[in-house]
């Protein structure tokens, strides 16, 4: 099935083309990027890497299209998003297979989570568009919210479809036109998404896609004077580079960057429920989520009990071929990430943290592929590298605390502030702790994911918000008209 997806894209001429002004056109450059199956380390496809010239053509098309798309009716934009939503669901299995192939997601996880939640972003953008008050009044002043303009969207490899829809949906709903640069490491689902946009009847120039790397395409998009806004999801390092490139043209920059999220287990928490759920959340998507709660903060007197429950939870994971329905966790997505995880596990051991499970190397039954052993450290000091740096892999640090005040201090003792979790039976106490944590989202007692909850970071985790109404408003400018009522 996986080779069939690549052959489908290849036979349609997608792999060596970019999508500009409603058409698939050959990239201006000669460079290619090899897509690697992380479960086998074997190449599965080659895609064309776009150039600054491709970016210029895409931005010009988006600028032309903005004239009419920005003043189109909300009904017409909602209908377009309806069609996009329906096509994603109709082609859900294609997307799931592509995501499993390009970044190693277990097929069950791709089917149950990666694709459905991506579709939800389109649905919510459509619903918000239908009810959003683009014109309001404040006394004699009219407040208009208008599309900001041409938006450059830069998306990562770890949630390749989910992050695309989280940006494209609200941008189009707002009346913006877009140029998308997906990660060159997981581009297959992005090409399938461009097909969806075309088949949904997107007007020429409203949506454009240019594959490419950061130094060439990302930099050209960030610096282009006709791009009004850049939205990037990626590492903090990449976010800084984008902001620097965007600064001379004073464009808006929205950044969803790194994280080192705490999971504060309060003294009254039900450990039998809180700890397994915390382990599952930390290792979701093989730990490759910027908001993964990879620091579990626990009362010192309950540390041994937490270790025992955490070990039992991790022992239930099935690491292996991502195409197998029995697999819960596939490989990490690429060699660079595999090397990073192995390096950080070695650092944790050298720092004196205690291994509860896992450790360096692949699981014993696997001799190739970017597979990592689900690793839990305990007796972690808050200043250890494994407690401060984003690892972006299946590594959890358990940190003991002596008081709730100390737990809050440890939770906030990081340059990041993207997500956080709090567990406790006393909801009033849990809410009080949540209010003290400096992060863009806090989850109390592992609630269900909500596409309406705004998502974004404090500190070096970025700025701006995605999802929900706030995600739509990122793509809007505010205009005040005085004398509107006379």
Enzyme catalytic residues? 256, 290
In what order do the strands lie in the sheet containing 17-20?
23-26, 17-20, 207-209, 177-181, 150-154, 229-233, 252-256, 462-463
User: Sign of torsion, CA 126 128 131 134?
Assistant: negative
SS3 236: helix
The conformation of residue 353, written as its DSSP 8-state character, comes to P
Pair 48, 27: CB distance under 8 Å: yes
The conformation of residue 455, written as its DSSP 8-state character, comes to B
**CA distances in angstroms from 115 to 68, 94, 138, 253, 357, listed in the order given:** 31, 10, 41, 27, 31
Quote the CA–CA distance of 376 and 396 in Å, as a whole number. 5
SS3 224: coil
DSSP alpha helix (H) spans, 137-214: 162-174, 188-199
E strand or H helix that includes residue 233: strand 229-233
Task: State both tokens at 48.
Answer: 């064309």
The conformation of residue 202, written as its DSSP 8-state character, comes to P
């Amino acid at each position: 099935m996986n080779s069939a997806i690549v052959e489908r894209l290849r036979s349609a001429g997608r792999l060596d083309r970019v999508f500009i002004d409603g058409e698939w056109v050959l990239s201006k450059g000669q460079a290619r990027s090899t897509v690697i199956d992380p479960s086998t380390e074997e190449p599965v496809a080659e895609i064309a890497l776009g150039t600054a010239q491709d970016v210029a053509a895409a931005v010009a098309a988006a600028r032309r299209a903005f004239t009419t798309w920005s003043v189109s009716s909300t009904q017409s934009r909602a209908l377009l998003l309806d069609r996009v939503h329906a096509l994603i669901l109709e082609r859900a299995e294609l997307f799931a297979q592509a995501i499993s192939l390009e970044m190693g997601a277990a097929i069950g996880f791709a089917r149950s989570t990666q694709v459905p939640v991506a579709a939800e972003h389109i649905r919510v953008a459509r619903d918000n568009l239908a009810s959003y008050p683009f014109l309001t009044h404040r006394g004699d002043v009219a407040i208009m919210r208008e599309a900001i303009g041409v938006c450059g969207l830069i998306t990562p490899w770890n949630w390749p479809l989910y992050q695309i829809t989280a940006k494209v949906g609200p941008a189009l709903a707002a009346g913006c036109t877009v140029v998308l640069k997906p990660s060159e490491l997981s581009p297959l689902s992005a090409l399938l998404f461009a097909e969806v946009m075309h088949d949904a009847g997107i007007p020429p120039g409203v949506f454009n896609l240019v594959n490419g790397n950061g130094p060439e395409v990302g930099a050209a998009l960030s610096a282009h004077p006709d791009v009004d806004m850049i939205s990037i999801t990626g590492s903090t390092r990449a976010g800084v580079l984008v902001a620097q490139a965007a600064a001379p043209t004073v464009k808006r920059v929205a950044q969803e960057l790194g994280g080192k999220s705490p999971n504060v287990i309060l003294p009254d928490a039900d450990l039998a429920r809180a700890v397994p759920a915390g382990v599952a959340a930390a290792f979701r998507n093989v730990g490759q989520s910027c908001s993964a709660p990879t620091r579990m903060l626990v009362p010192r007197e309950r540390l041994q009990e937490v270790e025992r429950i955490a070990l039992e939870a991790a022992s239930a994971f099935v690491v292996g071929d991502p195409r197998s329905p029995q697999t819960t966790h596939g490989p990490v997505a690429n060699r660079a990430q595999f090397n990073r995880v192995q390096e950080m596990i070695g650092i944790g051991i050298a720092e004196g943290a205690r291994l509860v499970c896992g450790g360096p190397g692949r699981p014993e039954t696997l001799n190739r592929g970017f597979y990592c052993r689900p690793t839990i450290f305990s007796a972690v000091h808050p200043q250890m590298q494994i407690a401060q740096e984003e690892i972006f892999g299946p590594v959890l640090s358990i940190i003991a605390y002596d008081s709730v005040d100390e737990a809050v201090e440890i939770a906030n003792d990081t340059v990041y502030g993207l997500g956080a979790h709090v567990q406790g039976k006393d909801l009033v106490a849990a809410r009080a702790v949540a209010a003290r944590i400096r992060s863009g989202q806090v989850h109390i007692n592992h609630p269900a994911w909500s596409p309406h909850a705004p998502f974004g970071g404090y500190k070096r985790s970025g700025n701006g918000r995605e999802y929900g109404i706030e995600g739509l408003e990122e793509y809007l400018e505010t205009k005040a008209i005085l004398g509107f009522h006379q």
